[in-house]
Amino acid sequence: MDSNSIAQTISATINDLIQSLFASVDNNVYSYIDNLVFIDESILESSKFENLFGSSTRSGILLIANSLIIAFFIYYCIKLFLSYYSSKPVERPYQFIFKLLLICIIINSSYFICKEILFINNLISSSFCEIGEIFTKKEISFKTLVSELNTVISLQNSSIDIFSVDGILKSFCSIGLLNLMLSYSLRYILLNVFILLSPFAFLSLSVSFSSWFFRSWLRALFSLLFLQSFVSIILIVILALNFSDDILSKFIYIGAIYALIRGNSYIRQLIGGISTDINTNLSTMKSLIKMR
């Protein structure tokens, strides 16, 4: 066997492996992206999540938050007592007690509040998708995006050549969409975490020295939720464009996927919040490891 035959065999083997990988990803991954991106209040309806959050004031996270209310009240009493000696201004007792009672009600209603916030956020993003569907005559979803992507970067039933332009672009698309899956999976987990922290965020408003936690929590939660509407707008713009089977359309699609990947970073630059970018988090982990 000469060198040309060996090279052709290796190339064919690589192409077959890559084609099998792309087929597996297309069939098993892309159908779940919409479920990860477009989140509604149903994520809170799991019995395990409800038990963890607390179905009453004497269970779960709510039990800890209600216990801390007593700790904050004791802290205020000590601070009020010391104020008579230090002459430092302190909030009036009846004002603090009224505020603490109000916060106590909000804490024990935090599950309902978060559920309504998720409902409203999903309603807004769904409205964008419905408006976009009217104008584009297409369903605004990742399923539609991937379907059109496979049409523009057409591989059909022929053997994929990873060393061709279409093969390279298809590789970028598959890697980019896998990155999207990881990024939105991280967002899904973070949303659950921040909802679990909601009682403590509301509790932090009871005293001035801890109110920064509520502001940080609210900014992070809002950035995670707003990403849903931002992604809807990007999908509308992409699906509204008329693509053909030329090289420019293919590169625009790659740019669209990159915009979806970087969506959280753009929102952080606008309003702040927390990162769900996999590359950013990996870099942070590497920095921490180097510091050790």
Q: Which residues have a Cβ under 8 Å from the Cβ of 107 and sit 6 or more positions away?
A: 62, 65, 66, 69, 199, 202, 203
pLDDT band at 137 (very low <50, low <70, confident <90, very high): confident
pLDDT at 260 over 60: yes
pLDDT digits (tens, 9 = 90+) for 151-188: 766 544 445 555 566 667 777 777 777 788 888 888 88
* DSSP state, residue 156: T
Question: Side chain identity at 225, as an amino acid letter?
Answer: L
Overall average pLDDT of the 123-146 stretch: 87
Task: Round to whole Å and give the CA distance between 135 and 236.
Answer: 9
pLDDT at 280 over 80: no
Task: Round to whole Å and give the CA distance between 88 and 244.
Answer: 71
pLDDT at 98 over 80: yes
Overall average pLDDT of the 218-233 stretch: 89
Retrieve residue 152's tokens: 């523009």
Q: Which residues of 25-46 are buried (b: 16+ CB within 10 A; e: fewer)?
A: bbeeebeebbebbbbbeebbee
Q: Which residues of 176-213 are buried (b: 16+ CB within 10 A; e: fewer)?
A: bbebbbbbbebbbebbbebbbbbbbbbbbbbbeeeeeb
pLDDT at 31: 65
Q: What is the mean pLDDT of the chain?
A: 78
pLDDT at 2 over 80: no
pLDDT at 167: 67
By the 8 A CB rule, do 260 and 231 touch? yes
pLDDT digits (tens, 9 = 90+) for 232-245: 988 888 888 776 66
pLDDT at 138: 85
pLDDT at 7 over 60: no
Dump the DSSP string for 247-280.
HHHHHHHHHHHHHHHTHHHHHHHHH------HHH
Overall average pLDDT of the 211-219 stretch: 89
